[in-house]
Chains A and B, each alone.
Chain A
Amino acid sequence: MEAVLEYWPVLIQGLWVTVWVSSCIILGAALGAIMLGVLRVSRTGVIRVLSMVFIECIRGPSALVLLFWVFYALPLLPGMPQLSPLAAAILVLALDGAVYGAEIVRAGIEAVNRGQADACHALGLSRFQSFTKVVLPQALSQIVPAFGSLARGMIKWTSIVSFIGVQDILYVANNVRAQTFETTIVFCLLAVLYWILTVLCGLVFRELEQVLPLNRALRAARAPSAYAPAGAAQ
């Protein structure tokens, strides 16, 4: 145990890389998911189909295969860049998160009552205004919890980045293992660290749920408040 802990500076550094990569891909996936999710419910059939094909193409071969392809095979095609391990890792994992997230966003948007969009139309809001001010804020109440468990999963996805040489916690720990031969301890430590990271991520998303506009409104309605209860004479 002590032999392993002597390596704490490099372990911390590896952990930091994992945290950093996780944050980047979760953020990137969130933005990508909203954009793809919107395309997925587009009124134009062609856009809907194209976005669906794109989604299936990204998630079909799994993140691992895609990562190897982007890092080893893509640069061999004429005119394609050789990405750094970190860039390739973030790109692929964020993209993969975005396509899974897109389905969450689509389901969230479709779950918002049709009448809300009708009301926006009747009030003269444009489709964009109605999406950003009315539909999306409500859909978020359904999107955020589901995206939270996706994000937890995405932290675990980052373990594959060590394959292409990103020096994350798994990469560093493997080196420590090679030098100390403390296999059991190293892997138990890794399991605990990943578990803690995913739990923290879950907590962050639970906090995020609290501030969503629709959740705030429903909480206010549940709590006894200064306002007269429903049905009271006005």
Chain B
Amino acid sequence: MLSAAEFSHSRPFVPEAATEAHGVAPKSKHAKWAIEFERISKFFGAHRVLVDLDLQVQPGEKVTLIGPSGSGKTTVLRLAMTLEKPTGGDIRIFGESILFDSAGKPLSTSQEARIRRRCGMVFQQFNLFPHLTVLQNLVLAPTTVLRQSKEQAENTALEYLRMVGLEGKVHAYPAQLSGGQQQRIAIARALILKPEILLLDEITSALDPELAGEVLDVVRGVAHETKVTLLIVTHEMRFAREVSDRIAVFDAGRIIEQGSPDKIFSYPECDRTRAFLQSVLNH
């Protein structure tokens, strides 16, 4: 396992333009950004969750969103996965809008499905399918979405199970596994579709502290060994520091500060960032 220091320094630093909270993104049609949020706002009823959010993530970059609960981090991931539609603004994945076609009309279901296939997501509550075995959980999407043969999908599934260290649980049901094991299965289930962008939504928050480690180890491995773009929401500050290229601090639906982990954790600029870090680190 790589040390934390090696990890963060083995990544190129992010260009200055992208680290500014409201930096103007260059409008490039060729995919400069893996994912790009442009002036995104999101209301739930009268409640404003996101305010004119701009965020760009380079291909292969690992970005962690931190901030107090209710500051809109999870909504960002859900918007990227098209689980929610923004109230205003546009989101592009590798240059393609996940909301509108080139004529500005809303995307059809099939167009949206094609684009969102480049994203995968792991949830706080695992959301494994409780009525299916581990193997069935893993092959469901490959066989129905990618139309792979059952045999091929199962072989691939076994590889991924080995990767997360759970090849012995092939025929177990989710309810027979610990939370940590379930979450590792959920990661394997997302990775098996080979997403270019992986969204991790508080994947250790529902776990007992002693089980969080095994899940984070899997993510470290993924971050290290693949070129997948990671967008992470977490409360594990040490993990965020090790694995991220960039940290974005959320507060009340805005990014108030972003930069390299060293900068954010050692030299935070905003008072609110400092207050937030103090509250979580002293915890």
Query: Counting CB contacts under 8 A, is B81 at the interface?
Result: yes
Contacts of A218 in B (CB 8 A): 130, 173, 175
Query: Counting CB contacts under 8 A, is A193 at the interface?
Result: no
Q: Looking across the interface, which residue of chain B has its beta carbon closest to that of A137?
A: B131
Query: Counting CB contacts under 8 A, is B82 at the interface?
Result: yes
Contacts of A127 in B (CB 8 A): 109
Contacts of A229 in B (CB 8 A): 176
Query: Counting CB contacts under 8 A, is B205 at the interface?
Result: no
Q: B198 → chain A, closest Cβ, in Å? A: 10
User: Which of B23-31, B164-172, B222-230, B262-270 forms part of the interface with chain A?
Assistant: B164-172
Q: Are A231 and B130 also in contact (CB < 8 A) when A124-B116, A124-B193, A126-B113 are?
A: no
Contact with B along A124-141 (1 / 0, CB 8 A): 111101000110011001
Q: Considering the complex, which residues of chain A in the window 199-229 have a beta carbon less than 8 Å from any beta carbon of chain B? A: 212-214, 216-218, 220-221, 225, 227, 229
Q: Which residue from A113, A125, A213, A232 sits with its C-beta under 8 Å from B127?
A: A113
Query: Counting CB contacts under 8 A, is A230 at the interface?
Result: yes
Query: Counting CB contacts under 8 A, is B132 at the interface?
Result: yes
**Cα distance, A38 to B166, chains bound together (Å):** 37
Query: Counting CB contacts under 8 A, is B178 at the interface?
Result: yes
Contacts of B235 in A (CB 8 A): none
Query: Counting CB contacts under 8 A, is A119 at the interface?
Result: yes
Q: Are A217 and B131 also in contact (CB < 8 A) when A121-B81, A227-B176 are?
A: yes
Contacts of A119 in B (CB 8 A): 123, 127-129
Q: B133 → chain A, closest Cβ, in Å? A: 8
Question: Would you call A122 and B178 a contact (CB within 8 A)?
Answer: no
Query: Counting CB contacts under 8 A, is A62 at the interface?
Result: no
Question: Would you call B173 and A217 a contact (CB within 8 A)?
Answer: yes
Question: Would you call A116 and B129 a contact (CB within 8 A)?
Answer: yes
Q: Which residue from B125, B141, B177 sits with its C-beta under 8 Å from A123?
A: B141
Question: Would you call A234 and B166 a contact (CB within 8 A)?
Answer: yes
Contacts of A115 in B (CB 8 A): 123, 125, 127
**Cα distance, A122 to B119, chains bound together (Å):** 7
Contacts of A129 in B (CB 8 A): 144-145
Query: Counting CB contacts under 8 A, is A182 at the interface?
Result: no
The interface on chain A, measured as residues whose beta carbon lies within 8 A of the other chain's beta carbons, has a size of: 33
**Cα distance, A127 to B199, chains bound together (Å):** 21
Contacts of B176 in A (CB 8 A): 220-221, 225, 227, 229-230
Contacts of B132 in A (CB 8 A): 213, 217
Contacts of A230 in B (CB 8 A): 176-178, 181
Question: Would you call B121 and A122 a contact (CB within 8 A)?
Answer: yes
Q: Are A122 and B190 also in contact (CB < 8 A) when A220-B176, A225-B176, A230-B176 are?
A: yes
Contacts of A141 in B (CB 8 A): 131
Question: Would you call B123 and A220 a contact (CB within 8 A)?
Answer: no
Main secondary structure of the interface of A (DSSP, over half): helix
Q: Are A138 and B131 also in contact (CB < 8 A) when A115-B125, A118-B123, A122-B190 are?
A: yes
**Cα distance, A115 to B123, chains bound together (Å):** 8
Question: Would you call B113 and A133 a contact (CB within 8 A)?
Answer: no
Contacts of B214 in A (CB 8 A): 234
Contact with A along B98-115 (1 / 0, CB 8 A): 000000000001000100
Q: Which residue from B83, B125, B127, B165 sits with its C-beta under 8 Å from A234?
A: B165
Q: B122 → chain A, closest Cβ, in Å? A: 8
Q: Which residue from A118, A138, A220 sits with its C-beta under 8 Å from B173?
A: A220
Contacts of A225 in B (CB 8 A): 176
**Cα distance, A119 to B201, chains bound together (Å):** 12
Q: Considering the complex, which residues of chain A in the window 90-106 have a beta carbon less than 8 Å from any beta carbon of chain B? A: none
**Cα distance, A222 to B175, chains bound together (Å):** 9
Q: Looking across the interface, which residue of chain A has its beta carbon closest to that of B182?
A: A230
Question: Would you call A124 and B178 a contact (CB within 8 A)?
Answer: no
Q: Are A221 and B127 also in contact (CB < 8 A) when A118-B83, A121-B81, A129-B144 are?
A: no
Q: Looking across the interface, which residue of chain A has its beta carbon closest to that of B128?
A: A119
Q: Which residue from A123, A126, A212, A217 sits with its C-beta under 8 Å from B193?
A: A123
Q: Are A124 and B130 also in contact (CB < 8 A) when A217-B175, A232-B178 are?
A: no
Question: Would you call A234 and B131 a contact (CB within 8 A)?
Answer: no
Central interface residue in A118, A129, A225, A229, by most chain B CB within 10 Å: A118
Other A-B pairs, 12, CB within 8 Å; known A122-B81, A122-B123 = A118-B123, A118-B127, A119-B123, A124-B193, A125-B141, A125-B144, A127-B109, A133-B144, A218-B173, A229-B176, A231-B211, A234-B169
26 pairs, CB–CB < 8 Å, chain A vs chain B: A113-B127, A118-B121, A118-B127, A119-B127, A119-B128, A119-B129, A121-B81, A122-B81, A122-B119, A122-B199, A123-B140, A124-B193, A127-B109, A133-B144, A134-B131, A138-B131, A212-B131, A213-B131, A218-B173, A220-B175, A225-B176, A227-B169, A229-B176, A230-B177, A230-B181, A234-B166
